[in-house]
């Protein structure tokens, strides 16, 4: 075990140093080169981490950086795809640092093989005798069968055997198991039979059985009884989104559009987040309907996606496209595209919405960050009132900043380099562009040590405004506040994803607002290896959200094969516009 762990960590060591020529990270220098070629479209700058010998080279590079800066307007628009928040980026990052332990889940082999054809009662008896596990044989085999989706006949023979042993009575759990198998194999007549039995034997059921019955019944002629079952669930619990999904699908299947919309309204009024399948079903059904009312409802769904920052999946995106294109007379044309860095749609050339917050939203977010992230009901938890006052008066006394730097995060970026040296490099690079800088740090950074050299810190203080918090205070809230306070143009540099601070915010809406602001204002350092160039990953200029201009729709969607984390946004778009 120890040996293995040792080898793994060794592997990790190798993989995390791509300049040795191994691992996926090796592509970094190449990436940088390709960026060079695209310089005109992608604005960026870079810097070689300084080592005393090649200061000349660095100066040259820095000069180059300035050149680039001159070409650009505000000088700090550097992009190197993919963005920190692009879909799949977290997966890639995690692949760069594989976890130490492989969680290989060994599937437990059953000692009794499951029957593949119906057995007679004698055969069941024999099987039961062979069974050596603990617990009830009938329950165990039932669970196994429903897990492995045995055929209906086998399950039925089991039930017949149990019933024969037990005066014709089959237990509730076996009945539900059988129902599960029937529903899985879409045996509607069997589902109806079981439904009759359950209705006869039990006054009420539990949500699991209700869910299965609803799912089974919607395909039959008695689909309206599924709605009755939904009512039964409501007596005690809130039905799940799946229940609503099934009922809506059933209603659409039987052309009862009003019922479907009613259920949709009900679902929303329960504060449930609908399944994307439900929405897709509405769009799929809409293809055959020529009805303005229905169309406007579908547009409402798209607005719902927008307001709740939901993104359709790939097949859903296809459904949306098909529906739009099926509208007669309007001549919608849809295509799957990407958005360029400038925020222009590659398909139609229109610019999508910028990521800037409206002034009201901005003020709201600022206040919330102050209230919930920094203060949080107890100012002593993250800082002290004295320190907060000191910081506020410090911020007041300074001009608005252009860039706020998380000193500790930047300094620890390069594990091989000295902390103060890395910080100084980043700061002096930015200072050369006449930007107002603020470096946030902790007091211990000022103490002379092997990692923090006093002379370098003094140079940092000459080139930037600095604020050093107490060693036991958190610096991130200060970072957020200083950036927000400086205004919309201000950016901050850190590789922290700020998820813990986002979690401090009270509701999902504020969190989405924070995320939007963060995407628009966070610069992350891309290269993590000493000796390579510092590439800032610039913010995107456009917001990734479902949007319309009346004549066009731009809908970001999730690709089927890309895994997206909650703090990432899709990169693919569906562009719809009307042919003129």
Q: Which residues bind other proteins (CB under 8 A)?
A: 1-2, 117-123, 139, 153, 156-157, 159-164, 167-173, 175-176, 193, 196-197, 199-209, 235-238, 378, 380-382, 384, 471-472
The C-alpha atoms of residue 561 and residue 87 are separated, in whole angstroms, by 11
**Judging by beta carbons within 10 Å of its beta carbon (0-12, 13-18, 19+), is residue 1 exposed, middle or buried?**
exposed
In contact, 504 and 373? CB cutoff 8 Å: yes
Q: Identify which of residues 349 and 376 has a Cβ nearer to other proteins in the complex.
A: 376
Q: How far is CA 428 from CA 49, 400, 423, 425, in A?
A: 12, 19, 9, 5
Q: Identify which of residues 2 and 40 has a Cβ nearer to other proteins in the complex.
A: 2
Q: Identify which of residues 5 and 20 has a Cβ nearer to other proteins in the complex.
A: 5
- For the stretch 275-279, contacts whose Cβ atoms lie closer than 8 Å and that sit 24 or more positions apart, written own/partner, are 275/241, 275/242, 275/245, 276/310, 276/312, 276/313, 276/316, 277/245, 277/249, 278/241, 278/244, 278/245, 278/248, 278/249, 279/305, 279/312, 279/316
Q: Identify which of residues 182 and 317 has a Cβ nearer to other proteins in the complex.
A: 182
Q: Which positions ≥6 away from 61 have C-beta within 8 Å? A: 46, 47, 48, 533
DSSP 358: P
Minimal distance, residue 251 CB to other proteins, in Å: 23
Minimal distance, residue 162 CB to other proteins, in Å: 8
Q: Identify which of residues 54 and 240 has a Cβ nearer to other proteins in the complex.
A: 240
The C-alpha atoms of residue 423 and residue 410 are separated, in whole angstroms, by 6
The C-alpha atoms of residue 474 and residue 394 are separated, in whole angstroms, by 17
Minimal distance, residue 207 CB to other proteins, in Å: 8
Q: Identify which of residues 190 and 406 has a Cβ nearer to other proteins in the complex.
A: 190
Q: Identify which of residues 163 and 327 has a Cβ nearer to other proteins in the complex.
A: 163
Q: Which helix (H) or strand (E) holds 359?
A: helix 359-368
Minimal distance, residue 473 CB to other proteins, in Å: 9
Q: Identify which of residues 60 and 237 has a Cβ nearer to other proteins in the complex.
A: 237
CA–centroid distance for 390 within its chain: 37
Minimal distance, residue 9 CB to other proteins, in Å: 9
The C-alpha atoms of residue 530 and residue 48 are separated, in whole angstroms, by 8
Q: Identify which of residues 166 and 338 has a Cβ nearer to other proteins in the complex.
A: 166
Minimal distance, residue 201 CB to other proteins, in Å: 4
Q: Which two tokens stand for residue 2?
A: 């120890």
Q: Which two tokens stand for residue 388?
A: 């907060």
In contact, 390 and 535? CB cutoff 8 Å: no
The C-alpha atoms of residue 98 and residue 218 are separated, in whole angstroms, by 45
The C-alpha atoms of residue 428 and residue 439 are separated, in whole angstroms, by 12
Q: Identify which of residues 269 and 296 has a Cβ nearer to other proteins in the complex.
A: 269
Minimal distance, residue 139 CB to other proteins, in Å: 6
3-state secondary structure of 439: strand
Q: Identify which of residues 41 and 386 has a Cβ nearer to other proteins in the complex.
A: 386
The C-alpha atoms of residue 49 and residue 508 are separated, in whole angstroms, by 40
Buried b (16+ CB within 10 A) or exposed e, 323-350: bbeeeeeeebbbebeebbbebebebbee
Minimal distance, residue 378 CB to other proteins, in Å: 5
Q: Identify which of residues 109 and 203 has a Cβ nearer to other proteins in the complex.
A: 203
Minimal distance, residue 16 CB to other proteins, in Å: 13
| HEC letters along 535-550 | CEECCCCECCCCEECC
Minimal distance, residue 471 CB to other proteins, in Å: 7
The C-alpha atoms of residue 571 and residue 577 are separated, in whole angstroms, by 19
Q: Which two tokens stand for residue 20?
A: 């040795």
Q: Mark out the alpha helices in 131-223 (DSSP H runs).
A: 137-148, 152-165, 172-184, 188-201, 207-217
Q: Identify which of residues 27 and 386 has a Cβ nearer to other proteins in the complex.
A: 386
User: Within a 13 Å sphere around the CA of 10, how many CA atoms are in the beta-carbon half?
Assistant: 6
Minimal distance, residue 273 CB to other proteins, in Å: 14
Q: Identify which of residues 121 and 322 has a Cβ nearer to other proteins in the complex.
A: 121
Minimal distance, residue 292 CB to other proteins, in Å: 39
Minimal distance, residue 176 CB to other proteins, in Å: 6
The C-alpha atoms of residue 228 and residue 222 are separated, in whole angstroms, by 11
Minimal distance, residue 482 CB to other proteins, in Å: 22
| Closest listed residue to residue 364, CA positions, set 511, 540, 499, 569 | 511
């Amino acid at each position: 075990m120890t040996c293995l762990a040792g080898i793994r960590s060794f592997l990790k060591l190798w993989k995390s140093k791509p300049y040795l020529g191994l691992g996926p990270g090796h592509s970094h220098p190449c990436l940088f080169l390709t960026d060079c070629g695209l310089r005109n479209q992608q604005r960026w700058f870079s810097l070689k981490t300084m080592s005393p010998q090649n200061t000349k080279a660095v100066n040259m590079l820095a000069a180059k950086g300035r050149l680039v800066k001159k070409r650009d307007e505000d000088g700090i628009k550097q992009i190197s795809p993919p963005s920190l928040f692009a879909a799949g980026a977290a997966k890639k990052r995690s692949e760069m640092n594989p976890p130490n332990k492989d969680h290989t889940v060994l599937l437990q082999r059953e000692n009794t093989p499951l029957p593949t054809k119906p057995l007679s009662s004698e055969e069941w008896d024999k099987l039961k005798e062979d069974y050596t596990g603990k617990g009830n044989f009938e329950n165990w085999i039932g669970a196994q069968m429903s897990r492995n989706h045995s055929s209906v006949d086998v399950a039925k023979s089991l039930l017949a055997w149990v019933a024969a042993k037990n005066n014709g009575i089959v237990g509730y759990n076996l009945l539900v198991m059988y129902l599960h198998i029937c529903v899985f194999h879409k045996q509607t007549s069997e589902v109806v039979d079981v439904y009759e039995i359950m209705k006869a034997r039990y006054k009420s059921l539990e949500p699991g059985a209700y869910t299965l019955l609803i799912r089974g019944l919607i395909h039959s002629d008695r689909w309206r009884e599924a709605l009755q079952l939904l009512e039964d669930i409501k007596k005690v619990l809130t039905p799940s989104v799946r229940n609503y999904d099934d009922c809506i699908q059933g209603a659409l299947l039987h052309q009862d559009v009003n019922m479907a919309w009613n259920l949709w309204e009900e679902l929303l009024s329960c504060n449930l987040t609908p399944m994307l399948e439900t929405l897709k079903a509405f769009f799929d059904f809409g293809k055959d309907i020529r009805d303005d009312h229905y169309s406007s409802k579908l547009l409402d769904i798209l607005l719902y996606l927008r307001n709740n920052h939901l993104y359709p999946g790939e097949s859903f995106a296809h459904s949306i496209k098909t529906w739009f294109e099926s509208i007669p007379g309007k001549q919608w044309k849809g295509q799957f595209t990407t958005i360029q860095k400038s925020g222009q749609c590659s398909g139609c050339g229109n610019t999508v919405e910028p990521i800037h917050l409206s002034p009201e939203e901005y003020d709201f977010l600022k206040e919330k960050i102050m209230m919930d992230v920094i203060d949080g009901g107890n100012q002593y938890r993250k800082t002290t009132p004295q320190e907060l006052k000191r910081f506020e008066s410090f911020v007041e006394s300074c001009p608005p900043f252009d860039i706020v730097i998380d000193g500790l995060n930047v300094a620890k970026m390069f594990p091989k380099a000295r902390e103060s040296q890395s910080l100084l490099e980043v700061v002096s690079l930015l200072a050369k562009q006449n930007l107002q800088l603020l470096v946030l740090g902790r007091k211990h950074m000022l103490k002379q040590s092997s990692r923090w050299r006093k002379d370098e810190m003094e140079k940092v203080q000459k080139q930037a405004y600095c604020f050093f918090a107490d060693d036991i205070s958190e610096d991130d809230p200060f970072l957020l506040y200083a950036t927000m306070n400086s205004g919309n143009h201000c950016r901050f540099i850190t590789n922290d994803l700020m998820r813990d601070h986002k979690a401090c915010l009270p509701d999902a809406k504020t969190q989405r607002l924070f995320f939007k602001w963060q995407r628009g204002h966070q610069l992350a350092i891309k290269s993590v290896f000493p000796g390579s160039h510092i590439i800032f990953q610039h913010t995107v200029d456009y917001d990734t959200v479902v949007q319309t201009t009346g004549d066009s729709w731009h809908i970001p969607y999730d690709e089927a094969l890309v895994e997206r984390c909650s703090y990432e946004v899709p990169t693919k778009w569906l562009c719809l516009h009307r042919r003129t």
